[in-house]
Amino acid sequence: MTEPVRGADRPPPRGGVTRRGVLGAGLAVAAAAGLGAWRWRPWSDGGSGATTGGTWSRPDVRRSAAGVLDTRLTARAGVHELAGARVQSLAFEGGHPGPTLRVAPGDTLKIELVNELDEPTNLHVHGLQVSPGAPGDDVFTLVQPGASRTYEYDLPTDHPTGVFWYHPHAHERVADQLWAGLCGAIVVCQDPAADESSTGERVLVVTDVTLAGDAVAAVSQRDRMNGREGDLVLVDGQSEPVLEGAPGATETWYVVNACCSRYLSLRTDGDLAARCVARDQGGLDAPLALEDLVVPPGGRAVLEVDVGDGSVRLVPVDRGGMGGMGGTGGMMGGSGGGTDGSVRLLSVVTADAVPAPSTRVDAPAALGDLRDRPVAVRRTLTLASGMGGGMGGGMRFTVDGAMFDPDRTDQAVILGDVEEWTVRNTSSMAHPFHLHVWPMQVLVDGAGDVTEPRWLDVVDVPAYGEVVVRVSFDRFPGRSVYHCHVLDHEDLGMMGVVEVG
């Protein structure tokens, strides 16, 4: 089948819209309308002209050739299309999301990041198993305004296939820059040149945002403490898009949760059916029903979809809150809001004239099992949030009682060791725990022991709960980080440094 593809970026004039202008333009409107309040509320486009229900369009795709993908990502503030409207926002290459990058295991991915913002930024390739040192997935180095930097990532030949993503990782700016639009998908597959229409693949990047007038809205300190959730939930920058498919066909959907804080719990209705066949870092032993799947912020899911007329809805997920300042995390609806609090994410319509996929995508392979490997070190990490002491007061978000310090090494690991980490949460809200570079095998989650090999790079740690994971630090020496993927909490200090050597 053939879908529309996004066009190229049209840059604003020099001296035009800036990142501060993008967020600041919505500030007065946001304050007057109460948009900073973290609560369920009906969707209103705020006069932005946002529309719902248009035909889904595939983001721009860039593919490796002869083992290399050499590309450029320009981060720019300007007026870009978002939910069918022209909105002041941030974008990579003018798109919401940015281009999808398709590479194969063993390929080299080179990205020149050009910073045309008025503040520092950088780049993190979320989930890729690559070196954390320069010029690889180095999140400690910033790219200053007007500067550029070339990242180079060498994927191992045994790198798992599946969907990953990229976004900025400039500390204290991560949530704002993602919220305003800076993100994109990475697909690792055996044949990057394959036509996604013929294989039945769709990459669905889910984001959320609040608009104020014709700009992305600023958020309040209350939003930051709870973790912001937007009024508008988008798929590839579109509100409730309509996907066209061949009746009875089977498709593969790569779903990326690129929201700052929102958890995704999906349901289908009508003649549409789906099941999860892989998560962040590998295939599952058996397909997982959607009712048993919750994708935390930063997480991904590979769905096998039986095409029929119907829709995909989001149902509320209770992630807790900061005492009296929060509550159940929900989602805001458009025309598809349901009486159960659910929101229509997208719709599917079928037509005999739409060609069915000619080939099928194999589900990502399952990874190994560390339960029989000797454990060199066992550690306990504690995630906590609460009121700070002293004259400053305010909220503190910490790991092991300390806020993030890039010059401090919190965990020193010996290259080649297998370690077991118990991650405890002493706060009243869930914290999705993300470790860069090295995937985690989950042994115990919030529901108890995990019997099958489950490999994630974002593991949800429920309020007042704990999880147990094992990690093989068998390659990639260097320094990287672990943190809460409610990105406001990361920006407010809930992050630590791991050094492997």
In a domain, 84, yes or no: yes
In a domain, 484, yes or no: yes
Residues in the chain: 501
Residues 30 and 80 in one domain: yes
Contact 203, 185 (CB under 8 A): yes
In a domain, 269, yes or no: yes
Residues 335 and 388 in one domain: no
Nearest to 123 by CA among 177, 77, 162: 177
Residues 170 and 245 in one domain: no
pLDDT of residue 49: 73
CATH number of the structural domain spanning residue 423: 2.60.40.420
Residues 318 and 420 in one domain: no
Residues 58 and 127 in one domain: yes
Query: Which domain covers residue 324, as residue numbers?
Result: 233-350
Tokens standing for residue 467: 């999880």
pLDDT of residue 336: 59
Q: Tokens 């369920």, residue?
A: 40
Residues 261 and 320 in one domain: yes
Nearest to 97 by CA among 191, 179, 32, 211: 179
Residues 129 and 243 in one domain: no
Residues 181 and 122 in one domain: yes
Residues 155 and 37 in one domain: yes
Euclidean distance between CA atoms 471 and 495, whole angstroms: 18
Is residue 15 pLDDT above 50, yes or no? no
**From the centroid of its chain, how far is CA 498?**
22
Residues 332 and 411 in one domain: no
pLDDT of residue 313: 97
Higher pLDDT, 492 or 341: 492
**Element spanning 487, H or E:** helix 487-491
As for how many domains the chain has, the answer is 3
- Under the banding of pLDDT at 50, 70 and 90, the label for residue 388 is low
Is residue 347 pLDDT above 50, yes or no? yes
In a domain, 225, yes or no: no
Is residue 4 pLDDT above 90, yes or no? no
In a domain, 439, yes or no: yes
Lowest mean pLDDT, pick from 19-23, 93-97, 137-141, 156-160: 19-23
pLDDT of residue 338: 61
Euclidean distance between CA atoms 59 and 91, whole angstroms: 12
- Under the banding of pLDDT at 50, 70 and 90, the label for residue 50 is confident
Does the reported pTM lie above 0.75?
Answer: yes
Residues 125 and 179 in one domain: yes
- Under the banding of pLDDT at 50, 70 and 90, the label for residue 14 is very low
Coil, strand or helix at 442: strand
Convert the pLDDT of each residue in 468-501 to its tens digit. Answer: 999 999 999 999 999 999 999 999 999 999 999 9
- Under the banding of pLDDT at 50, 70 and 90, the label for residue 16 is very low
Residues 317 and 389 in one domain: no
Tokens standing for residue 175: 């949530």
DSSP-derived secondary structure for 62-100:
EE-BTTEEEEEEEEEEEEEEETTEEEEEEEETTBSS-PE
